[in-house]
A = this chain, B = another copy of it.
Amino acid sequence: MKKNVLIVYAHPEPTSLTCSFLDVAVQTLRRCDRGVMLSDLYGMRWKAVFDEHDFPSRANPDRLNFIAESAHAYSTRRQTADVESEQEKLLAADALILQFPLWWFGMPAILKGWVDRVFAYGLAYGYKGEGNRHRYGDGGLKGKRAMLSVMVGGPARDYSPRGINGPLEELLFPITHGTLFFSGMDVLPTHAVYGSGRITAAGVEAAKADWCARLERLFEDAPIPFRRQNGGDYPDGQVLADRVAAGQTGLPAHISEERGAPVR
């Protein structure tokens, strides 16, 4: 069956490197016979701010509790049309690509607001209304793949294992692990272009070729081997078992050493 890919794109400038990567993605995926859906957030004038207008029919009109209202709006299908449309695309997708420039080591606000608003309770968290029971490798988006494609202004050296910014994959952990894997998706290693502000024409061509190759393997490459909440490594669903990543603390402890390629 034809695989579908949703690209969420967060840059307003048609001549930007980010936009040229979007073009490469659309062309490559079509050539690979994928269905391509696009959410051009700047072009759509996406509403970034998650607020009371997201809940046209409130469970409690007197007090805005985002989790309670998200659960109510999602389960009773009383969301706004823009959010519902994005969720439909996401549910129709076999893979999600977030294409953005790294701003302050994270997503531009417009893209963070896409996550804040679209990743509803009952879908991306609180799956089946069961709180934290289904998360990290389980949940409403299970079976889908996800990948970040990031334009990074600074040089790769600053993001190396001992680089001053910290390793890119650790800086992006709140997105790859905490958002995409949390919701059940298999997350591929991030595709990054470093030094994007000073790249040469030849560098752009080489970067496009690399990106093209990643896209061709979108459904073949091994995902980051994040540990699944319900796979045995977290006996109480909260903390690593003593025998797992023994003696380790921090973010890398949640990546299995046993499967796939190292992430850094």
List the interface of chain A (C-beta within 8 A of B).
Answer: 12-13, 15-16, 42, 48-52, 63-67, 101, 103-110, 112-113, 115-116, 119, 132, 136, 153-155, 157-158, 160-167, 170-171, 173-175, 177-179, 197, 229, 234, 237-240, 245, 248-254, 264
Contacts and interface: CB of A to CB of B under 8 A. Distances in A.
A192 B52 CA distance: 25
Given A49-B108, A167-B249, 7 more contacts: A12-B64, A15-B63, A48-B48, A105-B179, A160-B239, A161-B249, A171-B173
Given A64-B13, A171-B173, A106 B112 contact: yes
Return the 4 tightest CB-CB contacts between A and B, nearest first: A109-B113, A105-B174, A161-B249, A105-B178
State how many copies of this chain the complex holds.
2
Which residue among A107, A108, A160 has the maximum number of chain B CB atoms within 10 Å of its CB?
Answer: A108
A234 B174 CA distance: 26
B12 A51 contact: yes
6 contacts: A12-B51, A48-B113, A104-B174, A160-B239, A161-B249, A171-B251
Contact of A103 (B116, B234, B239, B251): B116
Given A250-B161, A254-B164, A174 B106 contact: yes
Contacts of A170: 170, 173, 250-251
Given A13-B63, A179-B104, A166 B48 contact: no
Given A116-B103, A249-B161, A178 B171 contact: yes
Nearest to A115: B104
A175 B240 CA distance: 26
A103 B113 CA distance: 10
Contacts of A238: 155, 157-158, 163-164
B249 A162 contact: yes
Nearest to A244: B162
A63 B14 CA distance: 8
Nearest to A104: B179
Given A136-B164, A249-B161, A67 B153 contact: yes
A48 B45 CA distance: 12
Nearest to A136: B164
A125 to B, nearest CB: 9
Nearest to A247: B162
Contacts of A13: 63-65
B251 A251 contact: yes
